[in-house]
Amino acid sequence: MRKPVLFIIVALAVAGAGFYGWTKWTAYQREARWGEWRGELLAPPPADDPGGGPDDARRAEVIAALKKELRGDPELTGASELLADLLIRMALGNPSNKDTKKLSEAKLVLDDAVKRHPEAIDASLKLAKVCRALGLIDESIKVLSNALVHSDGTQHSRVELDLANACFLKYQGTGKEEDFRAARNGFQNARGDPTTEAEALEGYGALFLENGRYHDFDKVLTTYRELLKKYPTYPNAENIQGIVDVLSKQPGGG
């Protein structure tokens, strides 16, 4: 009896190894295909042709292919993220005429991806940004608050920063102390990571530049000067320097 049993075990092991190898190869091909589509359809247009690059017809073709893949396997978070990115690009292609229908479609895609995989932090970050673009600030804050639980390291700092920005937007609408404190604390937390410190400093300064009971020119100047000293090549450095120059001329500005 031992030989038949041994043969069955070996056969099962070989079949399992073959299936595992096939699964890995299929996943590799899928990731490579998504990478090619991402490079083709989401790369910035050529510097000498700002209006160049793929047209919406090509994006629509790939969107249809991704939807088909997701119908076959809704667990493909990578496909969900790429699909949402393409929908967002098409929705925001014309800044003067935002396509909220495509943004809402992107939100549904990311909603499902995050529910299935709450640990997929990139999907949560994209979902929160789409929510903000649709004016759903409270929902954006909820998404990011949930993502904090599942994130760590640099991703955690990025979630903190985006959460601070969302709370800042809410504070601009409500003027409430609780929203101000949530934004302030988020920016302070994000300052602890070199990858998010510069953006956090900019947000922290802007928070105190906002009109209201917490308006504080001294904190704005101190924060922005720190930002300019630490990150002289920061993309928004020129605008920040302009604010510093104006505030420095105000009474009491040093």
Its pTM stands at 0.82
pLDDT at 200 over 80: yes
For 1-51, the pLDDT digits (tens) are 455 655 555 454 554 555 456 467 677 788 888 888 888 888 776 665 555
Task: Specify whether 61 is located in the same domain as 135.
Answer: yes
7 versus 146: which is more confidently predicted?
146
Domain assignment of residue 25, yes or no: no
Task: Specify whether 125 is located in the same domain as 192.
Answer: no
Predicted local distance difference test score (pLDDT) of residue 40: 83
Question: Contact 126/110 with Cβ under 8 angstroms?
Answer: yes
Question: Contact 119/150 with Cβ under 8 angstroms?
Answer: yes
157 versus 28: which is more confidently predicted?
157
Q: Is residue 196 helix, strand or coil?
A: coil
Task: Specify whether 119 is located in the same domain as 196.
Answer: no
Predicted local distance difference test score (pLDDT) of residue 39: 86
Domain assignment of residue 163, yes or no: no
Domain assignment of residue 45, yes or no: no
Cα Rg of the chain, angstroms: 24
140 pLDDT band, cuts 50/70/90, is very high
| Lowest pLDDT segment from 5-9, 130-134, 158-162 | 5-9
Q: Is residue 211 helix, strand or coil?
A: coil
Query: What is the average per-residue pLDDT within 82-100?
Result: 83
| Lowest pLDDT segment from 4-8, 54-58, 176-180 | 4-8
Task: Specify whether 184 is located in the same domain as 126.
Answer: no
Query: What is the average per-residue pLDDT within 200-225?
Result: 94
The domain spanning residue 117 has which CATH number? 1.25.40.10
The span from the CA of 178 to the CA of 197, in Å, is 23
Task: Specify whether 133 is located in the same domain as 184.
Answer: no
114 pLDDT band, cuts 50/70/90, is very high
Q: Is residue 45 helix, strand or coil?
A: coil
Give the list of residues 6+ apart from residue 247 with CB closer than 8 angstroms, or none.
217, 220, 221, 253
192 versus 93: which is more confidently predicted?
192
30 versus 254: which is more confidently predicted?
30
The span from the CA of 75 to the CA of 183, in Å, is 33
- Tally of structural domains, the chain: 2
Domain assignment of residue 8, yes or no: no
Question: Contact 167/182 with Cβ under 8 angstroms?
Answer: yes
Domain boundary residue, one of 134, 151, 168: 151
Query: What is the average per-residue pLDDT within 225-243?
Result: 96
The span from the CA of 10 to the CA of 47, in Å, is 59
Predicted local distance difference test score (pLDDT) of residue 19: 47
Question: Contact 136/118 with Cβ under 8 angstroms?
Answer: no
Task: Specify whether 147 is located in the same domain as 183.
Answer: no
What is the full DSSP assignment across 215-245?
--HHHHHHHHHHHHHH-TT-TTHHHHHHHHH
Domain boundary residue, one of 151, 186, 218: 151
Domain assignment of residue 23, yes or no: no
For 19-28, the pLDDT digits (tens) are 456 467 677 7
pLDDT at 152 over 60: yes
Predicted local distance difference test score (pLDDT) of residue 22: 47
Domain assignment of residue 212, yes or no: yes
Task: Specify whether 66 is located in the same domain as 146.
Answer: yes
Domain assignment of residue 15, yes or no: no
Task: Specify whether 130 is located in the same domain as 204.
Answer: no
Domain assignment of residue 169, yes or no: no
* Residue 93 DSSP symbol: S
pLDDT at 229 over 70: yes
Domain that holds residue 225: 176-254
